[in-house]
Structure 1
């Protein structure tokens, strides 16, 4: 029995927009048919709306349990759905306990199961104490293992020194596990440490591009030695792009992501004391941003994810605007698509390219090839998006727990009007229907 048919003049199919009728049966897309064949009962989109696949965000810090006052599964997944994200993968830190062993994963799943409006999977953590014991988490279905090469900002998730990075790559290569890396070199950071303060360029100077480049070089060396897999998280430094291109050309299994805030904001537009823009690595200058866009277009950077990393207002604005004191993380899960699309329009980049970075590319990266696309057999996770609708971000629309975001009061273009999970509209006033995911075998 057909559960739903959605008909629209512009449906994103195989990387291009075309008229279509999407037939949903049992939570799955049964067929993508001709628009003229849509029945009278079909849901028909408005002239200014397009139908997109649900977005897949593989870099989200939910923080529950332990720091649920920063963010929790109910609020994070509500924000995700409001932004067109139908699948997210939760990071192993800022929750307590961090997801560095199977008991901690069970605690995390118990928190997420009754509270998630969208589908949720989990990363494991590679910290010094978990090295040599990563396989049990892999067997329990985590999508890979996150490590930091510099201090993480929370004591319960210590970083790996170079020997630890090599040990993690050795261990994961034995079962073809994936290491995802916060790539900043602590020695470079130590050499550039400064007194901080309210002036944003001083903060950028304390975390130079060299820190990312040196750390990525260490990852590349490890891949060359082990033949393993690694992924560079939240790339902000354009100077690392030649290294990533060369590693890919060599045949090393290296991928990379960047984030909306690096593609939309630049150093010159960040006021003194505006710590809502603080993240690590930092937002850099406009020329750097141009290079990141070029790297997305040529495939050097594989996907775009939020790195949603919220905290309480007290932590985010600690130090009265001192960038060295405030928490380093941007709350942006709800606004990634309209933010990047707004900038893409100025650059002449079509919407279909932008959506691919947020959906099929990210889904394929974590092996979830049943989503992130509109095709027969795929999950009926769908988004109704109005790409020309004006959108000023206001406090009242924020769905994540704390109403703090770098996107507040910015004028964007594009509005998510409706999100479907497994063929049914997500109702943020109803019971959560999201499923917990494990890594496909």
Structure 2
């Protein structure tokens, strides 16, 4: 451990050097997994120094920010599961509105899904169209996923070389015809290609098509009927298939939006046996439960579905034990005409929950009620997803990392007002919900995000040592 005198001499040397562009100091800065008094010196958008806050010694900055007594400093969140939908379905959501919402929620980096945009990101040409739509429109940093669909195996290596962060596929109908599902055999073929494509990551919507098709799908306003139409067994069978094929091929695999806690033992066993597998879950599975969904409340519809309260508790245990690796939003908005199609009929309404702006307070509110510290919540929502997708300069307050920072008031409460949210359509199952934790300021590369000036960058996956 560094002696106090050594820390003071280093701080004194730093204070005497050329002023930083920005210095943030406070009593509760998240460094090395713990909140403690620190100063953070930023130059050219990068954290250059993080030093203990020593009485009488200060880093000098052109701009200096002192945290209030009720504020903490955390790294910007990294949300690797966001459906922006632009181009082609920009009326659902777009890069400007989605990234404004992200910044308002303390998210400084998103990775955009290859659907529901038109064209989907399944070829080099489609990626170019997506990048052109995003250029100059993003308020946070944005990366892109590629897609695996039947017949595009020859597109995977070029997409990987162009910098996508990995590839998404569905084992069940995606909801849009231009992004069809793959069979398990097609999944394995793609896995073998991706192992050779700079060891790219394959992310899977894991529900078994045959079991979904075999379930009853009544037109109904009953959430119980909808829940029965997406049975646990379908999720479990698909996850088992992904694990089996990942074990055979050695691919890096990832299970998207886990809702079925019954799969946790299988996932844990796969990890113990060396399968290169990670798993995410989402705020809606951690904070909502099937028993509380009102009849006809299609704002709650998503696939896989929100399950029972006991299942929710088990997912929390999965997170705490490390079987589930991180939490991301699966932000998937749609216009009211789609989200409320059928006037409360769960079979007709579009599935998807918009929550990129609310993820941190949602998860933190539930976590603190369970005695889980904020530092663990941040780990699940920032460094863990950043590591998995190879964003090695994101997700920590440490020298050499991007100065993506969030000033957060963990004890302040607010009531969700759907009309005040930044995403395109004022629809959310959380409307009127009391939450704890307010994002007071979001900094991207050391500068406060200005909702009128898009300064975000388009990211590419870096490969190599």
TM-score (normalizing by structure 2): 0.93
Distance 2:171 2:153 in 1: 14
* 1:44 to 2:66 alignment: yes
**1:113 CA displacement:** 1.3
2:41, 2:59 within 8 Å by CA — same for their partners in 1?
no
Q: Distance in 1 between matches of 2:58 and 2:88?
A: 49
Find the counterpart in structure 1 of residue 51 from structure 2. 33
Mapped partners of 1:199, 1:119: distance in 2: 40
Note the alpha carbon deviations across 1:4-42, whole angstroms, 9 max, x for none. 001111000111100111111110011111223335763
SS in 2 for 1:195: coil
Which protein shows a greater Rg?
2
Whole-Å Cα distance in 1 between the matches of residues 418 and 268 of structure 2?
A: 40
1:381 to 404, 426, 432: 404
1:289 is matched with which residue: 312, 315, 326?
312
Cα distance in 2 between the residues matched to 1:22 and 1:119: 21
Conserved in 2, the CA contact under 8 Å of 1:238 and 1:292? Answer: yes
Q: How many residues align?
A: 440
- Separation in 1 of the partners of 2:426 and 2:217? 30
What is the correspondence of 1:309-328 to structure 2 with a 5 Å cutoff?
309-328=332-351
**1:435 Cα deviation (Å)?**
0.4
Pick from 26, 30, 35 the counterpart of residue 8 of structure 1: 26
Residues 61-80 of structure 1: pairs in structure 2 closer than 5 A: 61-80=83-102
Residue 82 of structure 2: which of 60, 73, 76 is its match? 60
Shift of 1:151: 0.1
CA distance in 1, matches of 2:362, 2:155: 40
Alignment of 1:26-425 (within 5 A): 26-36=44-54, 37-39=57-59, 42-175=64-197, 176-425=199-448
Alpha carbons 2:298, 2:349 under 8 Å: kept: yes
* C-alpha distance in 2 between matches for 1:361 and 1:224: 22
Divergent runs of 4+, >2 A: 36-42
Contact 2:29–2:35 (CA under 8 A) maintained in structure 1: yes
CA distance in 1, matches of 2:429, 2:149: 30
| 8 Å contact from structure 1 (residues 332, 406) kept in 2 | no
Q: Deviations over 1:387-430 (max 9, x none)?
A: 0001101134210011111221111000000000000000102x
Unaligned runs of 5+ in 2: 1-18
Q: Secondary structure at the match of 2:151?
A: helix
Partner of 2:36: 18
Secondary structure at the counterpart of residue 211 of structure 1: helix
Q: Where does the alignment leave 5 or more consecutive residues of structure 1 unmatched?
A: none
SS in 2 for 1:307: coil
Q: Distance in 2 between matches of 1:314 and 1:412?
A: 28
Whether the aligned pair in 2 keeps the contact of 1:5 and 1:38 (CA below 8 Å) is no
CA RMSD of aligned residues (A): 1.0
Q: Does the Cα contact within 8 Å between 2:124 and 2:155 map onto a contact in 1?
A: no
